[in-house]
Amino acid sequence: MPRRMKAIAIAAGMGCAALSGTALATPAAPARPVPQAAAEGAGVANTAPTSAAAPATAAPTSPLLAQDGAPATTIDPQVGLPIDGRIGLQPQVTKNGEFAHWMHNGVLVPVITAICVLVLLLLAWVVFRYRRAANPVPSKTSHNTLVEVLWTLGPVVVLVLIAIPSIGLLQAQFKPAPAGAVTLKAIGNQWYWTYQYPDHGGIEITANMLKEKDQVAPGERARTDADGPRLLAVDNRIVLPVGVPIRLITTSNDVIHSWAIPAFWMKLDAVPGRLNETSFTIEKPGLYFGQCSELCGARHAFMPIAVQAVPPAQFAAWVAAKGGKMPGSAAPSSSVIPQPGAEGSAAEAAQANAADAVTGPAENASTPAQSPSSAQGATGNPAGPGNAGQ
């Protein structure tokens, strides 16, 4: 009987500790972060302020532009990039990121810690209390209904309490962007990124990694500390407005890539022949760095991403300086965004041109050739997209 009572006490302790570990997950801060809100339904005004005043014209040498074609911005050494020796997640600058950061530090870590400590203490107590010297005759107990119920219900309760915020965060990460959001299309290539702004005059930017001084060829621009960390700096940053919903669309021209910015809590796969979409809103100006996060070939480690977040008026000025135009404030995105290889895409036109060079033009060819190149600003890198062969 005493041994049975001890077993019951052990099971009760396990259940109580599991529940107390969940209770410890409640944050002390009065204001808890919340995921981003969903886009409003039809007939409800939900327009992003993307029509900020901008200069009517801007020359390519506009003082608003730095060497890489983006507004000059100083890098914050504590935000938007990895820090040597830092433990934990990067500071988050989106609502989903703030909520995920709270959930990690306020829910998951306390629960994991409480469970690990409980299991360790139980193991130590069992090893000491039921060692051979203290129990020369082992117990023959085979079942205990109360113990089995408690060690089953305890973990179930913990998992359910964790699942509630987890499902909400997962749902928030794929909410559609509202009308008036800035559409950014990121196209993965081996091994560089191409970006398009279909709602802003078709601006297209190709971003290659900047190499170190001892690696550049004559005429190429080497990385400096002002460009960003080693292996993360690019010759062309993309520019996005702060406080405006961003509609991100990813795809690929060759293999699967993944567009990831840790400070945005953002990782979206770029799959050939498919358009993936999500949305987010940047809440703090600055420079934010990321990388391709899907193994995509020999130079996978050399596909960095650099995002420059600026106020809406400065974004509008950058669009004008790049030769684009701002859309109407109340007009939702209506631009056709073809997948790679689809009729009318640059990749399809390039394949048709290559076939024509070998076999002659097909009689039913009706798609005009499109150039994959575009004005990108002063890159100083004549090697071309991806620095092929280097």
Half-sphere exposure of residue 61: CA atoms within 13 angstroms, side-chain side:
0
Question: What local confidence, expressed as pLDDT, does residue 346 receive?
Answer: 53
pTM comes to: 0.71
Question: 312 with 283: CB under 8 angstroms?
Answer: no
What does the mean pLDDT of the chain come to? 77
**Is the pLDDT higher at 371 or at 286?**
286
Name 14's Cβ contacts closer than 8 Å, sequence gap at least 6.
Answer: 118, 122, 150, 151, 154
Question: What local confidence, expressed as pLDDT, does residue 362 receive?
Answer: 43
Question: What local confidence, expressed as pLDDT, does residue 2 receive?
Answer: 46
Question: Confidence class of residue 73 from pLDDT cuts 50, 70 and 90?
Answer: confident
Cβ neighbourhood burial of 74 (10 Å; 0-12, 13-18, 19+): exposed
State the Cα–Cα distance between residues 228 and 153, nearest whole angstrom: 50
Segment 350-389, tens digit of pLDDT: 666 665 555 544 444 343 433 344 444 434 454 455 554 3
pLDDT for 347 beyond 70: no
Question: What local confidence, expressed as pLDDT, does residue 348 receive?
Answer: 59
Average pLDDT over residues 137-150: 84
End-to-end CA distance of the chain: 76
pLDDT for 67 beyond 60: yes
Question: 240 with 318: CB under 8 angstroms?
Answer: no
Average pLDDT over residues 44-57: 49
Segment 185-233, tens digit of pLDDT: 999 999 999 999 998 888 899 999 999 988 888 888 888 888 889 999 9
**Is the pLDDT higher at 165 or at 380?**
165
Residue 263 token pair: 């400070």
For the beta carbon of residue 170, count every other beta carbon within 10 angstroms. Answer: 12
Question: Confidence class of residue 21 from pLDDT cuts 50, 70 and 90?
Answer: very low
Q: What is the 3-state secondary structure (H, E, C) of the chain?
A: CHHHHHHHHHHHHHHHHHHHHHHHCCCCCCCCCCCCCCCCCCCCCCCCCCCCCCCCCCCCCCCCCCCCCCCCCCCCCCCCCCCCCCCCCCCCCCHHHHHHHHHHHHHHHHHHHHHHHHHHHHHHHHHHHCCCCCCCCCCCCCCCHHHHHHHHHHHHHHHHHHHHHHHHHHHHCCCCCCCCCEEEEEEEECCEEEEEECCCCCEEEEECECCCCCCCCCCCCCCCCCCCCCCCCECCCEEEECCCEEEEEEEECCCCEEEEEHHHCEEEEECECCCEEEEEECCCCEEEEEEECCCCCCCHHHCEEEEEEECHHHHHHHHHHCCCCCCCCCCCCCCCCCCCCCCCCHHHHHHHHHHHHHHCCCCCCCCCCCCCCCCCCCCCCCCCHHHCCC
For the beta carbon of residue 135, count every other beta carbon within 10 angstroms. Answer: 11
Identify the weakest region by mean pLDDT among 14-18, 244-248, 349-353. Answer: 14-18
Question: What local confidence, expressed as pLDDT, does residue 24 receive?
Answer: 40
Question: What local confidence, expressed as pLDDT, does residue 292 receive?
Answer: 94
Question: What local confidence, expressed as pLDDT, does residue 351 receive?
Answer: 62
Residue 317 token pair: 């000025």
Average pLDDT over residues 272-278: 92
Q: Of 2, 19, 5, which is closest to residue 150 (Cα–Cα)?
A: 19
Question: What local confidence, expressed as pLDDT, does residue 357 receive?
Answer: 55
State the Cα–Cα distance between residues 100 and 121, nearest whole angstrom: 30
Q: Which residue type, as a one-letter code, is found at position 41?
A: G
Average pLDDT over residues 137-143: 81
State the Cα–Cα distance between residues 122 and 266, nearest whole angstrom: 40
Question: What local confidence, expressed as pLDDT, does residue 168 receive?
Answer: 87
**Strands across the sheet with 182-189, in order?**
203-207, 192-197, 182-189, 245-252, 276-281
Average pLDDT over residues 337-350: 54
Average pLDDT over residues 271-288: 92
**Residue reference for tokens 């809440």:** 283
Segment 96-137, tens digit of pLDDT: 999 999 999 989 999 999 999 999 999 999 899 888 888 888
pLDDT for 251 beyond 80: yes
Segment 304-323, tens digit of pLDDT: 999 999 999 899 989 988 88
